[in-house]
Amino acid sequence: MGQNTPLGEFLRVRRARLRPEDAGLTWQGARRVPGLRREELAHLAGVSSTYYTRLEQGQSTRASQSVLDALARALGLSEDERTHLHNRARPAPSEPRRPEPPAAARRGTLQLIEALDDVPAVVLGIRGEVLAWNRLGHLLPAGHLEYDAPGRPVGRPNLTRMLFLDPHHRALYPRWPEEATRAVSSLRLDAGLRKDDLGLAELIGELSIKSPQFASLWSKHPVANCVRGTKYFQHPEVGELALEFEMFQMTDGTGHRMLMYSAAAGAPASAGLQLLRAQVAGRRPEPCVPPACATRGA
């Protein structure tokens, strides 16, 4: 009996998407299932049909790099999808990793994002949890939450969870299906890299149970390393915004990332960011000059 493995699921879903004519195959008559048959994909990849079937059914767990590369070519996988295929084929650790202490952004990182007054910046942990944000980085995606929420490890904001389960956050995205696909694609790539991460597995399980939209997207196995592009917002305070985003990987080995948003000078979104900056200035307490502080403390 075969078992349902992440590698087998990925191969099965991608095989079902590929039409025979897309692969240069000719066929006649009706087909009982969509996409390529197992033996057709095995032929295109140059492996035996029996071996491929065992691989897809989880009966073989040690595919060579050359076989995986051949399957990636036959399936027409992107570079990110090819990487995911190799990650999924690696044996899973025998025991889950022990829970780690709550992550925290480094002091230098906090100083950096606070100095970026004109740029919305968010520091993310390895599971998409918000470790810190500056004032603009808070007001843009999560002004309905308390500013100091990332400082509380229990219940700290998570951008992926918010996208699917927080109606206030979800309402920010007029192109929500596009944003949701991007989030799931990135999460799939992370899941392949960290198969022993209990926290990540718990997040995926929670979203699969609580969000039918997430469960549906997850079953389609989208994979992409979404580190740049355009995000579209319908912000409750400044209206429509089309912002470029960049995701920077920290080089300290923590796996933390910094998400930053910007708009070209003169673009409509630039005026929107200016309005957000004005909102931040209006909410920020007035600086306490020394004489006033002395009087107040007397």
Average pLDDT over residues 53-82: 87
The pLDDT tens digits for 158-181 are: 999 999 999 999 999 999 999 999
- pLDDT above 70: percentage of residues in the chain: 88
- Mean pLDDT of all residues belonging to the chain: 86
CA distances from 157 to 145, 148, 270 (A): 9, 10, 26
The pLDDT tens digits for 105-127 are: 999 999 999 999 889 999 999 99
Name residue 126's amino acid.
I
CATH class of 6-89: mainly alpha
CATH topology for the 107-283 domain: Beta-Lactamase (3.30.450)
Contact 82, 72 (CB under 8 A): yes
Q: If you write DSSP's letter for every residue of 125-162 in order, what string do you get?
A: -TTSBEEEE-HHHHHHHHTTS-TTGGG-STT--BHHHH
What lies within 8 Å, CB to CB, of 119 at 6+ separation is 134, 136, 260, 261, 262
Which residue ranges make up each domain of the chain?
6-89, 107-283
User: Which among 81, 70, 75 has a CA at the least distance from the CA of 23?
Assistant: 75
Domains 6-89 and 107-283 share a fold: no
Residue 98 has pLDDT above 90, yes or no: no
Give the pTM. 0.81
- pLDDT above 90: percentage of residues in the chain: 52
At 245 the pLDDT is 97
Cα 210 from Cα 212, distance rounded (Å): 7
Average pLDDT over residues 190-195: 86
Split at pLDDT 50, 70, 90, the class of 3 is low
Chain position carrying tokens 């392949």: 192
The pLDDT tens digits for 236-270 are: 999 999 999 999 999 888 899 999 999 998 889 99
